[in-house]
Structure 1
Amino acid sequence: MTIFIFCRQLAMTGACMVLMTGTALAWPLMSGDTRRSECVEALALASAQFRSDAFSMRAPLPIAVAAMSRLVLSISEEHIEAGDAQSADPDVFGKMTYPGNPNTLRNVYWKISPQNGKRLIVAESQVGWRGDQYSYYLADPSLPVDTFLVDPEQLRTLGLKPVIAEVWRPLQLLQNSVSGQLWAIDQNEERSWDVYILDEAGMSARCHIAFMSNVTPAVRLLPKPAQRFATLLAEALGPGTNEGTLQPTARIKNLVEQAWANAAMRPWALKRDPYNSRAEVDEGLEKWAMRGPKYRRAYRAIHRQYPQAVAALASYYRATFSKSPRAARQMAAQSIDYLYRCTFVFHREP
């Protein structure tokens, strides 16, 4: 077995990525306090999530894997842009709704029983098209909870600073069923999770779980013909400037980036159908190409590169996942078809 060690990302990741030809990549990988029970439990959850067909590593946790803990303040949906996404165990967390302006502020969640001399407070506020933001405070138990029913800027004037500030996804808060220990998984990054422990030291990250090497964009993990295909698709999609509040192109770009990451690391996760069928995308792009010579050249370039991307990806799958030539070709064809279709959205007539 030939082992190739890629150390170009050493400065960013702190470790070299090891790729063994003929085997699957040994992900996810954990660093930090790897023997701590919560970290071991989190790695089991991460491994189950990674090997599932869930499109995103931000999908709801496969909590059945974690026999020792239960969710006490969590989200059960992958897409939380509509906000107000958290569910609380009423035996562990109380909930108060902001009075006054409902257009900017939502809820405050507070741990009913203080732990290690501190009360955990979670403040939830509306922001924009990406959903809500969440801030985490460790407060003196003598401080009334309704102190936090104000704008976060007012809290700063009171000297109340969050230990984790304004994240776009709330932490998945768990509690050990035996010890009562509160801990959390931060899923704000698609490429990794951080595991926080609430103890005498406060609330701090104790271990880090990575799902892929620190390469951006993720398509750079794939052969050059696939990278070229991704570039052509992105150029056809366009920058999406001045699109207002809903930011449709930005949403598509986020989806496509995750799809390329899956194509590289978890191709079995490219299961759910994009909005458009293959026929609808082909028809939409044919009409788009009729706008002028520049568009026709871009259209032809995409279709010339398409079979080259499939062939290169098939070779990658044979080497990385030990697939037979036929299985690798089928997987590559499915992946490239998925990327082609999810890059474009052509609205259907009612």
Structure 2
Amino acid sequence: MALSKGDDFPIHQTAEPVAYAGTDRNFYDRYFFNGYAPDGGGFFAIAFGVYPHLDVVDAHFNVIRDGVQHCVHASREAGMERMDLSCGPITIEIVEPLNVLKVSVGDHEGISAELTFTGRHFPIEEPRFTHRTGPRVLLDCTRMTQNGRWTGWIEVDGERQELATGTMGTRDRSWGVRPIGAPDAQPIPGQAMPSFFWQWTPINFPSGSLFFHVNNDTLGNTWNTRAAWALEGASADVLSEGAGSMRTRLSSGTRWPSGGSTVSLALPGGPEEITFEPLGRFQMKGLGYTHPDWRHGMYHGALKVEREDIVLDGLGPLALDNIHVQIPVAVTSDGEEGIGVFEQLIIGPFAPLGLSEFIDGAG
């Protein structure tokens, strides 16, 4: 039987029950959130993924305190039910679609949270991401992105902290096809070295929200990019879209962004140039990205929940599971100060930054 709770809602896209999501085994449906205090401290993040063809759900909650990234990882069998947004202790509640969502983390080995996100504007729909490696589709997905404000609390090992007044962050929802679960063991002819270049910079200014992202090939040619500006309370019909270009600096011996990176923008109503200065570092492996054990969509049995504590100082910057980062950043533009994140993932050669190997560091 394939019927599920979703079939009682008018959301069907094909003549099949909602449990069936096309034919590509790499189809996924995903939530992501991050948040940070006005000074960039107290960084936290949440991820929740549904993988219909693998019949798996997984979720992650992370918070940074005193230089340690505390993580809860969870995975369960989906049972072909896509409307159950719970996985172990982690639950997402859609209070008001496209505006208010609640994240709950029941206590697991001393970590718990109750958090509510309220959007600052209508979500941005980013251009469809379609990317092939030779004949094989690597990405084919849509993503919406939204900045917002957080309220609530987080507890770690008996120390409960209310979120600071003015805590902001970003959420996104993406769905489609990307590599998930066990990797394909069969190589692609003619593709000697995998490569991927990604930068994403959602920023909260007092006057509005700025978004810029770019995907480039190994020579620096852009295959997907967008800049967008949303004033406080902006509805869908007043969002502003344009273009931008990034001048990136890397910390020596790493593939992590350093201070002084800038974005130049052609964006009606938005800033013309912004400059980033790092306030910390968040390892995306805490949410399953490039994680050696908690890769998205991997099967861990009926239910598995695990705590992990990552000491941020001393991590090897060129280990494969450490190169994908979000850097909390202070941002300046035309005298206005903002705060946000600079996410970066560079795998393989990238000529504009002098990277020539699968993973080598900046000179």
TM-score normalised by length of structure 2: 0.21
Structure index of larger Rg: 1
Structure with more of its chain in helix, by fraction: 1
